[in-house]
Structure 1
């Protein structure tokens, strides 16, 4: 199990935070245990344990379809809105940015860097005030700006996007910005998400 997250130390583990972000921030969707395990990078057994706790606590709902177990957010409880707001601010950047960026043409890779990535990787420190995103590729700048503004509103914190070409990112360069980004924690965004 991943250690208790410094992004939101109330949670048992980073896996729990990632799972809650996926499910609570996409309340219209049902997720299979396998989908959640793949997205969180853990075994289905680990996800199943978390799901059972969260279903038992009234935060998630589940149902069986054949041999599959499907999970979704319980939006009919007074806990849903405040909990989803807290999860959006803490673990939401990974889920919301991956979803938004995967729909934008011209992006080959994307990462969260800076203080948010440092807290996500377990480095102690104050809560991040913003989310810094590195986009590798050549997406339309106006669409990228609009996307950042939209995700900023959902997260309740500023999203700063920096674009670099695939050649610059791949090169062994002396660029001080890229050097500092590479030396610190990076959280790679999964742009192959299904919506």
Structure 2
């Protein structure tokens, strides 16, 4: 019996899937942009963030834009890219990234670069539901940063922003309330931990 012809071209849909998943650099770029759905970035900024050569991220971003995962717009002398968040492909890729790397690492990737954040822990139940899932943030944070954190985590968990209860404290405030047995802090710490980084129980 003749062997299968492995040189036969793939259907277009499978070629797109192979293009998405066949590169470690592409995987890193995808993981970053999917955990930062609000971000707009230049190739230089993305390369610096990921520790990759600009030529490498340029190649991947061009392909991802052609596949409808990213979109770009020229601003001044540079071109800035962003996630095509309304795309059904992007929605599916988001689920794939979260399932592959896990909720804890996805949450950490989404939050670790927020200015002023010292610690963050996702508590409660996954899949997230209103009243059952909380994100505790500790640091000197602006309200805008808190809302951005809530939006990123809701995006990753595929829920509306309000399904994620937000509690944020300055470090000294958190320690005082924790040590005093404040009812809100006690309730939060009774929830199961979906580890992110700087576990609030250890702060």
Please give the range of the TM-score, normalised by the shorter of the 2 chains: 0.3 to 0.5
* Higher normalized contact order (CA 8 Å, seq sep 6+, divided by chain length): 1
Return the structure number with greater helix share.
2
TM-score, normalising length: structure 1: 0.47
Larger radius of gyration: 2
TM-score, normalising length: structure 2: 0.46
